[in-house]
Amino acid sequence: MSQPWQPPQPPQNNPYGQPGQPPAPQQPPGYGYPQQPPQPMGPGYGYPQQPGYPQQPGYPQPGFPQPGFPPPPGGRGNVGKAFLFAWLVSGGLSAAYILMLVLSYEDLSLIGLRISYIVLALALAAAVGTVAGRAGGRKTAAHVIAAVFATLTAFFAVTNGYVATLLDAGGADMLEMMLEHKPGAPAEFWWKRLNGAIALLGLAVAGGGAFTMAHLVGKKQRP
């Protein structure tokens, strides 16, 4: 006689296969026995720390000034202050030169006029360049402003001095006559009385000297 069919029995030693006992759930993280916290590794244990890369010569560290690398151009100069100071100083020197011509034109010789013109150009180069360099720092615009003011002042100081002496000698009537018949007389006086080459030399000394002086003084200012 055949045996009746029976369901297969699970192995006796398998705890997950016992009837009526569900498989043990997986322990969620954070529950159960607390895990031992990791101990800090003392010096000399664990993986060695990687040393930082040494700074390569010739490449400056960002944010820190390095020796051998000049600071960026510009600095803390103020072009507006350079313009104002250059204008004031050049105006003061121009007024002083005009006053000198008015007071001494009767006794001033041609050679004395030319020497005084060169002295004016040197004074403009030194004074205007210095104040523009201190106020404008390393900014090139401030140096250019100094050169422009010095050059223009060297020219207009002579021409305006001619007009002032004309007013002092002949009054307003002579000035009106000059403006009516020969309006270019002041510029002609500057060119012919200063012998052309000396006139141009004075402009070059004033403009070039002012630019150079402003550049040298500006380089010494703190960036």
The predicted-structure confidence for 80-95, as pLDDT tens digits, reads as follows 999 999 999 999 999 9
Q: Which two tokens stand for residue 84?
A: 């104002």
CA distances from 106 to 110, 114, 115, 135 (A): 11, 15, 16, 40
Burial of 32 (0-12, 13-18, 19+ CB in 10 A): exposed
Structural domain boundaries in the chain: 79-219
pLDDT single digits (tens) 153-172: 999 999 999 999 999 988 88
Residue 17 has pLDDT above 60, yes or no: no
Q: What angle do CA 120, 80, 122 make, to 5 degrees?
A: 15
Mean pLDDT, rounded, for 198-208: 98
The band of 222, judged by pLDDT with boundaries at 50, 70 and 90, is: confident
Task: Name the nearest CA neighbour of 146 among 175, 170, 120, 125.
Answer: 125
pLDDT single digits (tens) 172-187: 898 899 999 999 999 9
CB 136 within 8 A of CB 144: no
Task: Name the nearest CA neighbour of 132 among 123, 142, 141.
Answer: 142
* Distance, CA of 138 to CA of 144 (rounded, Å): 11
